[in-house]
Structure 1
Amino acid sequence: MSRSLLDGELAEKGLRGDLLQENRIGTKLVKITGSFFAMLRGTVESRKPARQTSLRSTAYLDGLRGFAALMVYVVHHEGWGHSNIEGSNSFLEDAFGYKGQYYFVGLPGMRLLFTGHVAVPIFFVVSGYVLACKPLTLLHAGEHLQLVDNLASALFRRWLRLYLPIIAVTFTWITIWHVFGLRHTDSFSDPPESTFRDEVWKWYCDFKNFSFVFENEPWNKYDAPTWTIPKEFRGSIVVWTALLSFSRFTRNARLCCEAGLVFYFLYIVDGWYCAAFVIGLMLCDLDLLAQKNNLPAIFYRLSKWQGRIFLTMFITGIYLGGVPSVTNDIEHLKESPGWHYLAMLKPQAVFDFRNFYRLIGATLIMVAMPRLPWIKGFFELSFCQYLGRISYSFYLIHALIHWAIGDRIYAAVGRVRPGHEVVAAAWMNRFTLPDYGPFGLEVNFLVPHLVLVPMTFWISELCTRLFDQPSTKAASYLYNFLLDQSTVSERR
């Protein structure tokens, strides 16, 4: 098709202005990408932390959290990058062998890496563990006054630590729209407003509603993956409330109450994410008791089989964490190969069975991991530790980079989907690459990540230093500034 004919068709559709705008955006992005790679090596080297001689006992949890953030990146790109292929959602999300579909990405174990929805319950269980660690240490030591002080400080700082980075990231995001004229390609969000002033007002209204964590399902229109953050805050409150409530109980009574809460949130009400946090709390409690050889007797009776038990738990967790996720229809799960009988274990109270199986999988993985040195060692590698350090920023910005740049690169290499003719017309089929390779690992799917992965890492590093770490420090500073120092002195 001639260029003049193409221009005529675009003009008839009212898209010529958008095409010219996309050309200007393309030029800007090429320049930005070039300068980005020039700075990347120096930035990483100059900010590379000194090698640690020893790791904290819970360092593997940092690595697990970081790796889970990377899994979220993969699942979002796999789904979005293959949305141009009919049936792709079934290929990615259905069980291996469902209706004759045999794809490498659907293999048990592999599907956890390519469709890693289990990352979210992993986040929640890890958070429950980490949030409970210091308070439980004080509780076990009988330091009840310090326990109250610790919980007060943690509760005050938590909202600021979670939400200040979201404020900074989303405001920067809308500013980029209007300064660079870069329209996002997110189909879940509204198009940009006509003026920056209108955009700021809309952003403010959206965030103030999102910030009320007790709303049923708060949603941030500017950064969809943040749907988990209100649940993070609610789960934090559950953990600290439980710790305070159980702090004067005996060991066995406390453990029974923790187990009772898990049962309540899974089998009485649909509170799976609260159960995840309490499971993290309970695992931390048991680990601290194990350090003092003070576990309930049943655990010591099983110790001679612990190697086999934990390996079985890990493999089972991998399998359950990859539950078919194409729909929340339990009948569909019963028809899936390898899941008919497992589907019968779904609690009546849980509306979406996928959350239940993912949580059980995440729990089994968490229990087994520190007892399997080869697994624990992987998450203690410097790469996973680095992922853990930038994980929150990585989680917040990965989708924004996808919508601003990644989707346009997909269009450029030939992965064109409906809607590209509106928001990325100038990028369509610019540098077409072959789609050779197994589903989920095609050449024209993997090549864009040669740009997207290092760019996402680099911007995550910047956001960690500019937004995440300062937010943590600001919350701590504000708490200490407001603290009545006389009460602190009296308790010493």
Structure 2
Amino acid sequence: MTNVRGKTRDDQVGLLEEYKLEEVNESKRSILSRSSSDETLLPISASSDIIPEKATHVRDYSAKTILTLLRAYAHAFLIGLIPSFLHRSQEAKKLHPTAYLDGLRGVAAFLVFIHHTILDWYPALSRGYGSSTPQNSHFFLQLPLIRIIYSGRGMVSVFFVISGYVLSYKAIRLMRAAQYPALLDSLASSVFRRGMRLFLPITASTFISMLFSYWGWYIQDPQGHNGIPPRKGDFWSQVKDWWHNVILLWNPLVNVDGRALYSPPYDGHLWTIPIEYHGSIIVFLALLCVAKMRPWLRLCALTGLSVYSLWVTHWEVFLFLTGALLCDVHFARDSIPVPSFLAKISALARVIAAQAALFAIALFAAHLLCYPDELASVTPSYRTIVSITPHSMSSAGLGQRFWLAVGAALLVAAMDISPFLQAPFTTRLAQYLGRISFALYIVHGPVLYTLGMKMLYAAKPIWDGDGGWGKFFLAAIGAWIVDLVVCVYAADVFWRVFDASSVTFAGWVARKVWVREGGFKG
């Protein structure tokens, strides 16, 4: 990762929600300039860093100048349409200590895409293995651990743990260094920018969804499980309806919780965004609350808050606060001495035993994350889990959410300690998926319920007729490949054009309105 002058390696956390924003260079260069693939998005010359009051601006409106500018912008636009992975690559950059969370987030977003794709083609896969008739519950993909490849709900829980971890990283590091003025600046900046960071990209994406709906491109899935945007009679009625729903989506005071999920009509998958904002603010408030506690008391307080949240059925708050707790534990581990009885064992034996135990924990966590969407109570290997679900969660219909939350917390906890478990998520592919993960999550719905549904309905006669499952399977694979290519391409462009730009804009607004060191001047 590109280092920013004057920052330590720990400053370069650069994960999910902040997109390196805490460490973005406070110059006029945007975050887009951080990768070679994005440097050509705007034709900015070296003179863009000239101090405004000392620069002499000479406006040239000649036809030659205008033509040159148009060519430059056209070139930048065309270059921007080329996926970043096809641009000239740079030398491999050194990964930051928590880069594995970037990769984990990217893989999780990819599995959410698979979840929403595969269940439209094979709805029976939502059931657990052996939960019903052989025709509907004895598929290989329904087996525990195997079904992790499309356990979308579990991956959402993983998102929230990562968010809590990432949002806490810099603040907890400053707490442990007793840098309280810097901590206040960091928390104030994070709270100020958080809404723009989350809601600006989805404002753009839902506007595109609004256009798709007006043009009649959306198609309802055969099962009727996924809502599609409403289609109005004229364009301005469509725009007004979209704007009304955007205002609702932006509302920071809306009653958001994990028990009554709000499904935005212009993309139901965005139900996670208000929860993301809500959880973020709770994390910031919790960090402010424990900021000056002794380290061990802070760990106890965060543990108590997270456990209490789960006990009172707020599984989403539990996930965010658990992420913050795991982040604090991450910094505390180095100061914990090795117990005397373990010191007698060789270092190699300790490492092997620890990695084996962490791998077992990760497997159990993955098993929980594979909790079936349907018929879990009669699914072998999940019946017992269902029977020991806390009454407060089961009575609220949140049994699945409870175990997914536990699984996500255990998975991130194990991975944070084990380099062996982190390794697959530090590969170039996983890191790329991490960069486009938010954009992939945003764009995959509009793609699947326009282009994807067209291909599904084109293949449906094969299943209904005499074509058999073999031809239908080949059609499903072909459609999935097309969906994948389109979604990754759209996510790559959306990431660079809208997602990263929202980070830049939020940082620019913060710099414009923030009181500078030494007090406000004019």
Structure 1 Cα separation of the partners of residues 341 and 158 of structure 2: 24
Partner of residue 188, structure 1 = 227
Amino acid aligned to 1:366: V
Amino acid aligned to 1:182: W
* Structure 2 contact 209–229 (Cα < 8 Å) conserved: no
Shift of 1:346: 1.5
Shift of 1:111: 1.0
Partner of residue 126, structure 2 = 92
* Structure 2 contact 230–265 (Cα < 8 Å) conserved: no
Specify every segment of 5 or more residues in structure 2 that has no aligned partner in the other structure, as ranges: 1-77
Structure 1 Cα separation of the partners of residues 371 and 515 of structure 2: 50
Q: Show the 5 A alignment for 1:152-191.
A: 152-178=188-214, 181-185=216-220, 187-191=226-230
* Structure 2 contact 115–150 (Cα < 8 Å) conserved: yes
Shift of 1:242: 1.0
Shift of 1:41: 10
Shift of 1:211: 1.8
Partner of residue 377, structure 1 = 423
Is the alpha carbon distance of 1:248 and 1:39 closer, same or farther for their aligned partners in structure 2, counting shifts above 3 Å?
closer
Partner of residue 511, structure 2 = 480
Structure 1 Cα separation of the partners of residues 200 and 117 of structure 2: 26
Q: Does 1:236 align with 2:285?
A: no
* Structure 2 contact 270–442 (Cα < 8 Å) conserved: yes
Secondary structure of the corresponding residue to residue 464 of structure 1: helix
Q: Does 1:224 align with 2:272?
A: no
- Deviation digits for residues 454-475 of structure 1 (CA, Å, limit 9, x no counterpart): 1111111111111100001101
Shift of 1:306: 1.8
Structure 1 Cα separation of the partners of residues 163 and 83 of structure 2: 30
Shift of 1:412: 2.0
* Structure 1 contact 183–192 (Cα < 8 Å) conserved: no
| Match of residue 208, structure 1, among 247, 251, 254 | 247
Shift of 1:390: 0.6
Structure 2 Cα separation of the partners of residues 321 and 236 of structure 1: 23
* Structure 2 contact 176–295 (Cα < 8 Å) conserved: no
Partner of residue 198, structure 1 = 237
Amino acid aligned to 2:279: G
| Match of residue 477, structure 2, among 446, 452, 463 | 446
| Match of residue 257, structure 1, among 276, 288, 301 | 301
Q: Runs of 4 or more off by more than 4 Å in structure 1?
A: 38-42, 96-100, 295-303, 415-418, 486-490
- Deviation digits for residues 78-122 of structure 1 (CA, Å, limit 9, x no counterpart): 11123xxxxx33x43224455553211111111111333211000
Shift of 1:189: 2.8
Structure 1 Cα separation of the partners of residues 141 and 132 of structure 2: 13
Partner of residue 107, structure 2 = 67
Shift of 1:297: 6.6
- Deviation digits for residues 275-297 of structure 1 (CA, Å, limit 9, x no counterpart): 0011111111111112x324797
* Structure 1 contact 93–115 (Cα < 8 Å) conserved: no
Amino acid aligned to 1:228: T
Specify every segment of 5 or more residues in structure 1 that has no aligned partner in the other structure, as ranges: 1-37, 83-87, 327-331, 419-428
Partner of residue 501, structure 2 = 470
Is the alpha carbon distance of 1:260 and 1:297 closer, same or farther for their aligned partners in structure 2, counting shifts above 3 Å?
farther
Amino acid aligned to 1:135: A
Q: Show the 5 A alignment for 1:316-327.
A: 316-326=364-374
Partner of residue 156, structure 2 = 120
Q: Show the 5 A alignment for 1:141-160.
A: 141-160=177-196
* Structure 1 contact 210–218 (Cα < 8 Å) conserved: no
Is the alpha carbon distance of 1:435 and 1:50 closer, same or farther for their aligned partners in structure 2, counting shifts above 3 Å?
farther
Structure 1 Cα separation of the partners of residues 461 and 227 of structure 2: 19
Partner of residue 130, structure 1 = 166
Shift of 1:310: 0.6
* Structure 1 contact 414–444 (Cα < 8 Å) conserved: no
* Structure 1 contact 132–281 (Cα < 8 Å) conserved: yes
Partner of residue 283, structure 1 = 326
- The alignment's TM-score, normalised by the length of structure 1, stands at 0.79
Partner of residue 56, structure 1 = 96
Structure 2 Cα separation of the partners of residues 486 and 372 of structure 1: 41
Structure 2 Cα separation of the partners of residues 334 and 73 of structure 1: 26
* More deviation, 152-161/480-489: 480-489
* Structure 1 contact 124–277 (Cα < 8 Å) conserved: yes
Partner of residue 354, structure 1 = 400
